[in-house]
């Protein structure tokens, strides 16, 4: 892995993810977590302050050493106990049915094999547990989606593997989850980058 991937991408990720317009989504999604929580791709730990009193503990999984270093600092001041795990969501080193809630915020776009990762999330989630997510992805307008497909290879190599054109609801339901609540919205900004999928799903 080169200097750009190892050092520049984590700093850009932290800057991009610190936007204040993302805060209400973090509060809403993360605030609904309960019990033993696994957060996938914690990045620099920006979700930690939003876990509420219903949360017993958080395991934060993250494969980037530099982002883990940033997350470690935030974990120290979190109101809930946070353990960090250096791993990929495509092979989660946790027991089956061991988690009450899984949280993913703007991460399914970047995981190389998102279906494999979701199958792993389903495995570690207990029956009746919740997958809480907010992600950007494929826009419903055919013209915008075409641009997302065109830009995707270039964007992905510049933005640390982030994909613009994943249809998040189909990914989730295609891996053994039933979506219980889904809200789509748009952030201000380029239409190729700002279509959001926020929701809650449970293992079928």
Binding site for ligand SAM (CB under 6 A): 13, 17, 40-43, 46-47, 61-64, 67, 88-90, 105-107, 110-111
Contact 28, 198 (CB under 8 A): yes
Contact 55, 80 (CB under 8 A): yes
Q: Which of 74, 73, 133 is nearest to 101 (CA)?
A: 133
Nearer to ligand SAM, 3 or 127 (CB): 3
Nearer to ligand SAM, 11 or 146 (CB): 11
Residue 124, classed as helix, strand or coil, is helix
Alpha-carbon separation of residue 178 from 90, 95, 125, 128, 202 (angstroms): 20, 22, 13, 11, 5
Minimum CB–partner distance for residue 187 and ligand SAM (Å)? 13
Minimum CB–partner distance for residue 87 and ligand SAM (Å)? 7
Nearer to ligand SAM, 5 or 183 (CB): 5
Nearer to ligand SAM, 40 or 84 (CB): 40
Ranked by CB distance to ligand SAM, the top (closest) residue is 43
């Amino acid at each position: 892995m080169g200097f750009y991937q190892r050092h520049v991408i984590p700093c850009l990720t932290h800057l991009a993810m610190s936007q204040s317009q993302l805060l209400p989504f973090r509060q809403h999604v993360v605030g609904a977590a309960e019990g033993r929580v696994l957060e996938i791709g914690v990045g620099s730990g920006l979700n930690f302050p939003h876990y509420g009193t219903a949360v017993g503990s958080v395991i934060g999984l993250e494969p980037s050493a530099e982002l883990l270093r940033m997350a470690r600092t935030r974990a120290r001041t979190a109101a809930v106990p946070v353990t960090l795990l250096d791993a990929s969501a495509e092979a989660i080193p946790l027991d089956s049915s061991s988690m009450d809630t899984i949280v993913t915020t703007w991460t399914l776009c970047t995981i190389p094999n998102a279906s494999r990762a979701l199958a792993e999330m389903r495995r570690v989630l207990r029956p009746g547990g919740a997958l809480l997510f907010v992600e950007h992805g494929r826009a419903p307008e055919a013209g915008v989606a075409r641009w997302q497909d065109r830009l995707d290879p270039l964007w992905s190599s510049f933005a640390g593997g982030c994909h613009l054109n994943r249809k998040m609801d189909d990914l989730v339901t295609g891996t053994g989850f039933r979506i219980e609540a889904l809200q789509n919205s748009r952030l201000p900004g380029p239409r190729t980058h700002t279509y959001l999928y926020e929701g809650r799903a449970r293992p079928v």
